[in-house]
Every structure is written in structure tokens, then in C-alpha cells.
Structure 1
Amino acid sequence: MVRLDDASGFYSHTRLNQGGSIARNRAFQLCQGEFIQWLDADDLLASDKITRQMKVWGEQSGNNRLFSCAWGYFMYRACRARFSPTPLWADLSPLEWLVRKWENNAHMNPATWLASRELTEAAGPWEARLITGEDGEYFCRVIIASDGICFVPEARVFYRTTASSASYIGPSNRKMESQFLGMQLEIAHLLSLDDSRRTKAACVKFLQAWLPCFYPYRPDIVSQAQQLATTLGGQLEAPRLGWKYRWIKRLFGAELAKRASLLMPNVKWELIRAWDKMLFSIGTSGVTSSDQSSGASFNANVLD
């Protein structure tokens, strides 16, 4: 069912839950714009994010340039977002961008991208088999289909970290299998573009960085990853637990130690989030009616 919200001018589409990829593909079929901005629930765009990227687009020729921008993490207070530049914050060719990403285990929030409809169609639909890792696989294809990445440093995206996330893998077999399938597809996409020694080495680093997600829960996936690394001329090392968890491994085994290594940082993170939430609540409790009007105006600008 498709509904138009007269107040905001946005369409909402409701359907049975068949996964994020199918929902995004349906959204693209329904949309009519010449440029595509993908958003998750925890993404916040600066009010001039798209305007700044479109300004740069107007100064260039062709619709196959892909635009990115600066982004930062926040919990509850967007004003405290941390913007930490990485080697990806630059104008780069598709090959250089992807190789740098894996060489440095870097990340680019999906909401930073702005792509033309023409480029989006050339990249193809979201991979419906994936329930996690779909962002990386999809944007790998978008990047490869582009004529290059144009980084717009003045444009900004704010990414809210949450206690739980659909991208969290944990011990879920379905998510581990999906993540590894997505990684295999990404590697195949990149090697179709370039199979040099540097590119293969970057692929091995990519596998190594994600190996802890499968170890020790899925020795079959670990074995497949090792075989893939071998064909690329590399070798994977077994993930090492931090010293704080090694005694747990000695007494109770690798699986329990792995669970502890995932749980304990989350407990610390939740305490930090609770503190930030309290400070956010204190800050908003004193907002006057005139401030609220200004805030409403700001929110409208963000959505525009």
C-alpha cells in the first residue's frame, strides 16, 4: 500500500517483511527522482548535504560520477558527532577506492553516497540473498559502475550508533553465511576490475579483517575463507583473543571466550550510551517553545 503524507510530501509504502534488499528494490521502482539517496533509520543528513553534492555535480559533466561526503558517529547528541577522516575521504578512482578500503579496513557510511538514477540502474538491484553485508556488496557494484568517486568534504552525514543493529552478526548462522557470501561476491566484483598483486593482497586483508566474525563458530566458513586466501596468494591467521579473555579460553574454551569478548565491550558501551542519553535529556528538557519552533524548522530543512 502506498500513501502520500500531505504534510511532509513523502510517500510511504507498506508491504510484508521480505528483507531489506527487497524493500530497497521496491522503493527504487517507486521513486521518480533523478538522483538517489539511500537512508537507514539511524542516518541523519545535514540540511545542506544533498545541496552541496549537487552543486559539485553541476560543475562537472556526465551522470556516472558517484558523490560521497564526510560522516561521523553520534549516540544521542548529534552536536557531539566525531568526524574522523580516513584514506577514503578523497577523490578516487573506483579501483583505488575499493583497494584503499580493504587495505585500511576503512568504512564509509552508506548515507554519504549520492548517485544518479542512470548510475543506480547500471549497478543493478540489491542482492536479495543477503540479510547482512548487503550494503558493502551493493555499493561495491555502484562504485565499479561509476566513473569515479567525488568527495565533498563540506557535506555531512551523522550516523547514530545503537545498542542493537541488523548488521550485527554474532553467532547467527544465517547472518554468518550471508556475510561470507557477500564478501565472496565483493571480491569477485573487484577482481573483475583488476587482479594485480596489490588488489589480491587487499582481498586477503579483507578476509582477515572479517575472520573473527566466523571463528570459532563456523569452522567450515573459516576453511573456505582460508582456501580463498590461498588462491589469492595469501594466508589467514587464526584470530587472537585479547589478554583479558585468554584465561576464559583456557578454562572454558574458545567459544565461551569469544562470547565474553563480544558481551563485555557491549556492557561498557551501554554505560557510555546511558550517560550520553542522560545529558541529551537534560539538554532538551530546558528547550523553550521558540527553540522548539526553530528545531521544527531545522528538521524540515533536513528532510528537504
Structure 2
Amino acid sequence: MSEDDTRTAVIIEDDPDVRSLLDEVFRAAGFRTVLAGTGLEGVAAVAAHEPIITTLDINLPGIDGFEAARRIRAVSATFIIMLSALGEESDVVLGLTSGADEYLVKPFRPRELRARIEALLRRPRNTRPVGTGPAGGGAGEPLRAASSAPESNASAEGQPMPARNPSATAAIPTIGTAGWHAHRDISLDPVTHTVLVAQREVELTPTEFDLLATLLESKRRVRSKEDLALVLRGEAFGSASYVGEPDKRAIEAHMANLRRKIGDSTAEPRYIETVRGVGYRLTAHTDGAPAQS
């Protein structure tokens, strides 16, 4: 993949004025842009161009942004920034649960969007899609472009699969195995972006992966919502950057989705416990042995 390809952004927006503004912001940030006016065109554009970042409106013709995000997540690990006039907490939570990494409420400030873009670029990118599967046709059909080709400044030309067969997965690495982080029967490799739970591979979004990696690296040290928000921005713990309530709610939504995927419970946590009023940390023991620090 060429350097130009790694700097591609897909913009999925049906309002021409907003689409033009987004195009200007991304071009100023050094991106090649591909523009789409509907959800189906956008999903097809993501599959064709493999962008590093995708912006996604919610109120789109045809499929809405929530469904588009789910289909994109089935075929791509692109960072998704959801942009919408819907600013209720339930909308934000649904957007993040659908697979978005960021959620900005319209009208947004171009400088804030640019800052979010730069923060995403500082994060390591998982180049594997979160899952594979149909995004347009029936079961088993490959992704097909919409009949109306997406508007593009370049030439524009489902459902996630279940966890892989455990018999095809290597044995769980233990704490101390080179490169891997582990706790109980969950382990993570930051190089290959692989997460195993009880010898089964679990597919996480880039944001969920980064949250889990941070907690595994921190072990029993509590990480506040502010800490985790800074990690997602690519900033150091203790940074003076402002973390607002929307950022904290976003962390809560991502954490709930992460727990659901790894089979954890807030009532009886096996992997991640909530320290009320403070943040999150790993549970105290690893299958009968004291947690290693």
C-alpha cells in the first residue's frame, strides 16, 4: 500500500455544504478524499479505498449511519468519526456501540475536528478488519458497490463473522511471553492487534483494543476516564488537556462494549473492575495467583 493510500479519508455525508467543509478540513490535513452521499455508497467506498479515517453522518438516504457503521466494521478497521446533529446521550452511546471511534455533534468546529483527526493518527492502526462478511447482498455474498458510484476527488472506482475455531488458534500466551500482555485467560498482542479470550480470538474495534491494551499494561493501577480519554487522543497520562463530560461518557460506552465482547460482567467482573468514582483496573487475581505487576 502506498503512502497516499494510507492517507485516504472517506467522507459520508448527504449535505453538500457539510461535505465540502469536511473535504477542506481533510485536504488541509494532507488527506486524499473520497466523497459519498449515501450510506451504501460510503460502505462501498470504504471497501474500495481502505481509508485510515472515515466520517459518517447518521441521517443518510437509504441505510442510516448506525447501520453503515456496522457494515463498515465488518469489512474495515478504519477509524470512524460519527458526525450528527443528534446530541442526546442515547444517540452518542448507540453511535459508539455501532462501531464509531469518535462522536462529534453538529455544528462542529473545524479546529476540533482537525484535533480529533490528529489524535487518531497518533494511535497505532489495526490494519485487519474487525470482521468479515456481507455488507450489501445476502448471506455469503461479497461486498458490492452501490449502483450509483460515490462522488470522489480520487477515482472512485453484514455481519461480523463468529470467533475463529479455537483449534486453529495458538495456545494462550502467559504473562511474560515476549510482546504479549495477559490477565487470567485473556491475552493481547499489540503488534498483531490480536486478542484471545479462552483460546478464542475476539474482534475489537481499534478504540476497544486500545482501552484493553492500556488496562493490561497498567495492571492493578487504576486508570480514570480522563486517563483513558487522553490515551485515545494519543496524549500522555496527566496531560493538561481538557477532558469533558462527553469524552467521559464515550469512555463508558466503549468500556461497556468491550466488556460485552470479552464476556465480562460489571456485577461479577472477571477481567475489568470499576473503581466507583475513580475509574477502571484489572481484577485482583489471575486464576488463583496474585496479579503480577
Instruction: Please identify which structure carries the higher strand content.
Output: 2
Bigger relative contact order, structure 1 or 2 (CA pairs below 8 A, ≥6 apart): 1
Greater per-residue helix proportion? 1
Q: TM-score, normalised by structure 2?
A: 0.26
Bigger Rg, structure 1 or 2: 1
